[in-house]
Structure 1
Amino acid sequence: MAAQTQNFKSGTQSQLSRSIERVFDDAEVSCQINLSGRKLKDYPMIANKFDLADTEEIDLSKNRLSELPKDVCQYLWLEKINCYSNVIKNIPDDIIKLRVLIHLNL
């Protein structure tokens, strides 16, 4: 039974990883990243594998983030950031790089 539970957990983790990878893959085309409700404590490092420089919108709401991820501040075309329902305690100084940001929901 324990081995079966372990296989289920690793299978679920693998699906979640693939699912997040799919989000970033789609974001390369749509310019929108939606990671809402995924219980994230950190911004996925897998994002570095994708060309997300043209990202205009990101939804990180309903997670467990304690800070606005610095990686988000590299998306210079961001117009909208949703981070509500997190535990945000810190906003990086690099947020001033986001010159076209018009909506920040913490």
Structure 2
Amino acid sequence: MLITTARELAELGISYNKSAVQWLFHNKILTKGQRFSHRARQVALKVCRENRDRGEFCLLVEDGNLLTLWRQIGSIQPVDSSPASDQSIFLLPDRRIARA
């Protein structure tokens, strides 16, 4: 389980796209899950812990007043180890692709 903020991602060079429905993040294919208000932070952490206990990777991203749960649905093997192979790619609701 990993918890981060959109700001921390930006500091790492990743432009977080909250409109995305899927995300390629460090060779993990993530799909957008539930969104939680800050008041429901403990619930979000519990859901993420439950996923982790089942052996699933999940990521909570805090952006503004919301926490978004991203769940791993697959992974890819990089073709090479160049920095470009580890960039973030977002799939938007209209099926367009956005690169970070």
For Structure 1 versus Structure 2, the TM-score category normalised by the shorter chain is under 0.3
The structure with higher relative contact order (CA 8 Å, sep 6+) is 2
Bigger helix fraction: 1
Which structure has the larger Rg over C-alpha atoms?
Answer: 1
TM-score w.r.t. the length of structure 2 is 0.25
Bigger strand fraction: 2
